Amino acid sequence: MTLVRALSGTPPHIVLPEGTVDTQMHMYLPGFPAQPGGPDLPAGSLPTPDQYRQVMSWLGIDRVVITQGNAHQRDNGNLLACLSEMGDIARGVAVIDAETPETELDRLAEARVVGARIMDLPGGAVGLDALEAVDARASVRGWMLAVQFDGSHILEHEARLARLKSRWVLDHHGKFFSGVTPESPQVAAVKRLIDRGNCWFKFAGCYESSKSGGPAYEDIAAVARDVAAHAPERIVWGTNWPHNLARQNADYPDDAALTDTVLGWLPDAAARRLALVDNPEALFGFAPVRGAMR
């Protein structure tokens, strides 16, 4: 059966504020094949910029951060094409390493790339072994880092993460694959890193690491509420569209329902405004919202 992605429907009950930024998603254009070392392109029809614009209208999203997908590994061509297609409402997070030429970094920056991705899980193009080298290059340009790994091991990496010079975000609710609670030492480490002033925590892809499962994702929710209460000024949110780990229709989330669930872990409208507008502006360098965007 072909995977079918809903692109419209009943909007979320929680109304997203004007200027909302989706800080975690992928999109694809024809002509950019998957590269060796990564996964295949997403199942079903190619999740294109045109499809994503429909999702933006459905959910109430105004701006977007496009993250380089693992399928394309270190070839940022698809990302650049999508950024061109989306225009000024979009920023990008690319894959670079110590060997990326300065001329390529210039090209990425001109296309509105504002960050670099570290993905230390199967299929990732650049892992934690390159953390310091990528940080050095990103910090010179004022870029941020999106860092994803099995957060169960965060205590082993805390000292390195604490030394990062760039702004950076811990992706996907920390991806604590072994399971944690608000009382776990791993969550205490997240709070210490946030308190250093250059670390954010991303609400996105809760289903990828939840042990309790949907629709409530109680284990992820408990930690999310705790971290949000600790530092509401350091939370950002993303749809994780097009949900690349969903391989069949039964696994594919309802984007409106998932938005309501995840944003419900924030305590009030002021915290949602921070997570959806103000915090991503600070992390990704969007201009502050002035007046209505819709």
Identify the pLDDT of residue 2. Answer: 83
User: CA 167 to CA 145: how far, in whole Å?
Assistant: 6
Tokens 């999106």 sit on residue: 146
Examine the pLDDT at 19 and tell me if it is beyond 90. Answer: yes
- Strands (E) across the chain are located at 21-25, 63-67, 90-94, 113-119, 144-148, 167-170, 199-203, 235-237
Q: State pLDDT tens for residues 227-276.
A: 999 999 999 999 999 999 887 888 899 999 999 999 999 999 999 999 99
The rounded Cα 31 to chain-centroid distance in angstroms is 24
Residue 1, in any domain of the structure: no
- 3 in a domain, yes or no? no
For the chain, the domain total comes to 1
Q: What is the pLDDT of residue 293?
A: 57
- Tell me which long-range contacts 28-31 makes (C-beta under 8 A, separation of at least 24): 28/69, 28/71, 28/78, 28/82, 29/78, 29/81, 29/82, 29/85, 31/81
Catalytic positions, written as ranges: 240
* Mean pLDDT rounded to a whole number for the chain: 96
Q: How many CB atoms lie within 10 A of CB 141?
A: 17
Give the residue carrying structure tokens 């193009």. Answer: 125
Is residue 294 classed as helix, strand or coil in its secondary structure?
coil
Sort residue 37 into left (φ over 0), alpha (ψ -120 to 50) or beta. Answer: left
Q: Which pLDDT belongs to residue 43?
A: 87
| Residue 75 pLDDT greater than 90, yes or no | yes
Average pLDDT score over residue span 207-228: 97
Instruction: Return d(Cα 216, Cα 114) in angstroms, integer.
Output: 33
- Spatial contact of 180 and 189, defined as CB atoms under 8 Å apart: no
Domain residues for the domain of 137 are 21-284
| Position 16 in a domain | no
Q: What's 85's domain CATH number?
A: 3.20.20.140
pLDDT of residue 248: 84
What is the predicted pLDDT for the residue at 291? 56
Q: Residue 213 above 60 pLDDT?
A: yes
279 part of a folded domain: yes
The first and second tokens of residue 102, run together, are: 């300065």
294 falls within a domain = no
Nearest partner of 293 among 114, 60, 10, judged by Cα: 60
In a domain, 269, yes or no: yes
Q: pLDDT category, 1, cuts 50, 70, 90?
A: low
Q: Is the peptide bond before 182 cis (omega within 30 degrees of 0)?
A: no
Q: In this predicted structure, what is the pLDDT of residue 44?
A: 86
Residues 97 and 56: beta-carbon distance below 8 Å: no
Say whether pLDDT at 294 is over 60.
no
Does some domain include residue 131? yes
Residue 293 lies in a domain: no
Q: Helix/strand/coil (H, E, C) string of 205-226? A: CHHHCCCCCCCCCHHHHHHHHH
